[in-house]
Chains A and B, each alone.
Chain A
Amino acid sequence: MIIYGVALLALSFLLGQWMGEALGALLGIDANVGGVGFAMIILMLLKDWFLREGWMKKDMDAGIDFWGKMYIPVVIAMAASLNVKGAVSSGLLAVLAGFIPVAICFAVFPHMLRRFKTD
């Protein structure tokens, strides 16, 4: 049943978001701290467990796979609903402070990777 896969994904999502909210509250900040990351790790662990027990049926895969593949379309919709005009009209400083650090990070990135590989 496809819905079992979707439900497993929903369970991981909600658990992770809840952990993120709880961690945020614990740290005293009004933000979700890594809720999506926790949810991803929970889903990976649940998948391993389900595979080991032989509970993962083909249909369940399809229920999760579908949503994973919908990610790019969602990003396209998100890009179209970003406040691009606001970003552009907040002036040159926003453009510079948004662009320059990114460019520097792109330049730093290969060196950082190399350093880690030699360690």
Chain B
Amino acid sequence: MELFEGLIAKNGLVFAFLIVGVLTLGSEFFSKKFLKSKIPGSAVAIFLALLLGYWGGVWGNGEKGLADVKFFSGLGFFGGAMFRDFTIVATAYGASFLLVKKSGWLGFISLVLGISLFFVLGVIIAFAWGYRDVVSLCTIGAGACTYIIGPVTGAAIGASSEVIALSIGTGLFKTITVTILTPLVAKRIGLDNPQAAMAFGGLMGTSSGVAAGLAATDPELVPYGAVTATFYTGLGCLVCPSVFYGILELML
């Protein structure tokens, strides 16, 4: 057992390849056998992984889900920012630049619309919950955009650490919701072509949620959704603590 533990500790990333492979295999099987492939295997795998992440959080008592459990630390590296961004860029290889250019304008409009919509809705919900100070409202509104915009905004305007944590939780929940719901509703909302995927990426914004949701819907759409979604967090970090904060302050 000790020998085995040492082996895993030394080869965390390789062990992560094995875990994800087995998880995918099981999910594909489950999807075919019990769901008649109505929910794609990759969507099942992502959902299962989220459950494992929750369980890992309880067990490992950290902030990185299952990756905080010593045995599974390789998952954190495999699913970390470097691999995520590197592989997402690689998906662009199959995308057509002409299509991206053609829908660029639509992508830009949906970005602006998406950030404003999520911010406003986040602020309204926080207001309805009882928050009245501009700093907290703005931070929670920013968290409703993504779990990165929330803390960046909160830090910039001096929010309390509880409110910042709340904004991170809000953003994380958004990512999870988008990941799970996208493959379920994609067909019904017309999300089946590159142009729609670009608009979707801009509107929803959470690049991990959008890309994960699209990956489970139709892998060919991933690069189109990702190419707009990836500008969302940057743009949000720019406008939330400045323009949006200013407007909120004027209003309250």
Interface residues of A (CB under 8 A from B): 9-10, 12-13, 16-17, 20, 23-24, 27, 29-37, 39-41, 43-45, 47-48, 61, 64-68, 70-91, 93-106, 108-110, 112-113, 116
A40 to B80, alpha carbons, bound, how many Å? Answer: 19
> Are B199 and A31 in contact, CB atoms less than 8 angstroms apart?
no
Interchain nearest-CB distance for B170 vs A (Å): 4
Interface residues of B (CB under 8 A from A): 16-17, 19-21, 23-24, 42, 45-47, 49-54, 56-58, 63-67, 72, 75-76, 78-80, 83-97, 100, 106, 110, 113-114, 117-118, 121-122, 125-126, 129, 140, 143-144, 148, 152, 165-166, 168-179, 181, 185, 188-191, 196, 199-200, 203-204, 207-208, 211-212, 215-216, 219, 222-223, 226-228, 230-231, 233-235, 237-238
Residue from B219, B231, B234 within 8 A of A72 (CB atoms): B219
Interchain nearest-CB distance for B90 vs A (Å): 4
> Are B91 and A71 in contact, CB atoms less than 8 angstroms apart?
yes
Nearest 8 CB-CB pairings of A with B: A98-B173, A90-B169, A85-B57, A33-B234, A77-B79, A78-B79, A40-B92, A94-B169
A45 to B188, alpha carbons, bound, how many Å? Answer: 33
A69 to B143, alpha carbons, bound, how many Å? Answer: 31
Measured between beta carbons, the chain A residues less than 8 angstroms from B53 are 79-85
Measured between beta carbons, the chain B residues less than 8 angstroms from A99 are 173-174, 177
How many cross-chain pairs have Cβ atoms below 8 Å apart between A and B?
A: 315
> Are A101 and B87 in contact, CB atoms less than 8 angstroms apart?
no
8 A-B pairs whose Cβ atoms sit less than 8 Å apart in the complex: A40-B91, A72-B215, A77-B83, A82-B65, A90-B170, A96-B129, A97-B126, A97-B173
Using A68-B93, A72-B216 as known contacts, list a sample of 6 further A-B pairs with CB atoms less than 8 Å apart, ordered by residue number in A. A24-B234, A44-B96, A73-B20, A84-B176, A97-B126, A106-B185
